[in-house]
Structure 1
Amino acid sequence: MSGKAAGRVTGLQWSAWNLLLLVPLLMLITPWFNFDKPRLLGLPFFYWYQFLFVIVGVGSVALVYVMTKGKPVVTGKPDRLAEVDGLDEGADQ
């Protein structure tokens, strides 16, 4: 099996790029940003830092997606999806 079904990569992928998905979790450490100052456009640090991390989170997920979308899956293992498709009773009729 080639690891592709209908032109799409199937199976579990691992890449070092996936570690970037841990960056948005830093927003959960509240004591790092639980402050009033410095203010930006009148907003306390607490709020604009959270908004900044929304942008950072979306950017990191987008970067990981772009960098890993064409990677091949692990080779040498059978593709279970191809086996399941062959079991469909209505496929031959």
Structure 2
Amino acid sequence: MSTAKHDGKVRGFQFSPWNLLLIVPLLILVTPLFNVDGPRLFGMPFFYWFQLAFVVVGVLSTWIVYVMTRDKPTADAADKLSVDDLDEGDAR
């Protein structure tokens, strides 16, 4: 997960359980789960209307993860540098 260095900055991967919801849109890649003709919806085979419905499910799950994790800080507040502290390279 994340590790704090001696300078107080947080680096590395920061896990949120909400990110597990992003696995749901990947289920559309498992074609044998829905590679069937029936049941039909308005004459459309299951294969097609399931994919169309899964677009909506994928967008909703991505939106939920975004909303639930957008306020989570990605680094410590002390990690923010002022303009004067930024490295502009060597001026040799």
Both structures adopt the same fold (TM-score exceeding 0.5): yes
Higher relative contact order (CA 8 A, sep 6+): 1
* Structure 1 residues 1-93: aligned runs within 5 Å: 13-75=14-76, 79=79, 82=81, 86-88=86-88
Distance 2:22 2:16 in 1: 11
Structure 2 runs not aligned, ≥5 long? 1-8
Distance 1:58 1:34 in 2: 22
Is the alpha carbon distance of 1:70 and 1:12 closer, same or farther for their aligned partners in structure 2, counting shifts above 3 Å?
A: farther
Asked if the contact 1:20–1:64 (Cα under 8 Å) also holds between the matched residues in 2, the reply is yes
Measured after TM superposition, the shift of residue 75 of structure 1 is: 3.7
Runs of 4+ residues deviating >3 angstroms:
none
Distance 1:13 1:53 in 2: 28
Deviations, residues 11-33 of structure 1 (Å, cap 9, x unaligned): 85421000000001111111110
CA RMSD, Structure 1 to Structure 2 (Å): 2.9
Measured after TM superposition, the shift of residue 73 of structure 1 is: 2.5
TM-score when normalising by structure 1: 0.69
Asked if the contact 1:12–1:73 (Cα under 8 Å) also holds between the matched residues in 2, the reply is no
Measured after TM superposition, the shift of residue 88 of structure 1 is: 2.6
Structure 1 runs not aligned, ≥5 long? 4-10
| 2:6 alignment partner in structure 1 | none
